Amino acid sequence: MSDDPARAGGAVSGLSQLGGESALPSSPDEATLETAANPHPDALYLARFTAPEFTSLCPVTGQPDFAHLVIDYAPKERIVESKSFKLFLGSFRNHGAFHEDCTVMIAKRIVAAAAPRWLRIAGYWYPRGGIPIDVFHQTGPAPDGLWVPEPGVQPYRGRG
């Protein structure tokens, strides 16, 4: 056991999933997206989550859909706790929704949980039926002075 008073019984105080066993939620609605205090709320910086193996289901056929997600956000008072975020993303594995719905739903959940200064999500969906669908959403213009790198994912080029 840690001597750190913020840790108790293997878990971090105020966080129910970090530091212990957590089951994968059966749906995004059942998933809890946790946040922690931003250690540098006075600093303008960008945090990036990259999920190159995101999966969900087509709401019509039930076939799996795959995406490479890149989520950039500028934290304010709260940061997104990464274990709960991984569990949240994993909860889409058996969730049927269109690409646009999944991508924007993820952005809205982060905004609702952490209230960042700014957020951008890029969903690069792999083709099924011959058509890749890329979905992009952001909460507004990036704050002045924030360095925002390119997502780093090449658009689908097919076999040619």
Q: What CATH number is associated with residue 50?
A: 3.30.1130.10
Task: Give Cα 77 to chain centroid, integer Å.
Answer: 18
The residue segments making up the domain with residue 128 are: 40-138
Q: What is the pLDDT of residue 13?
A: 60
Write the Ramachandran bin of 10: left for phi over 0, alpha for psi from -120 to 50, otherwise beta: left
Q: What's the rounded mean pLDDT across residues 104-109?
A: 98
Q: Of 3, 4, 42, 65, which residue is the catalytic one?
A: 65
Which pTM does this prediction carry? 0.86
CA dihedral 3, 9, 10, 15 (to 10 degrees): -110
Q: What's the rounded mean pLDDT across residues 34-46?
A: 96
Residue 53 lies in a domain: yes
Domain count within the chain: 1
58 given a catalytic annotation: yes
Residue 153 lies in a domain: no
Residue 159 lies in a domain: no
102 given a catalytic annotation: no
Residue 17 lies in a domain: no
Q: Of 3, 42, 58, 102, which residue is the catalytic one?
A: 58
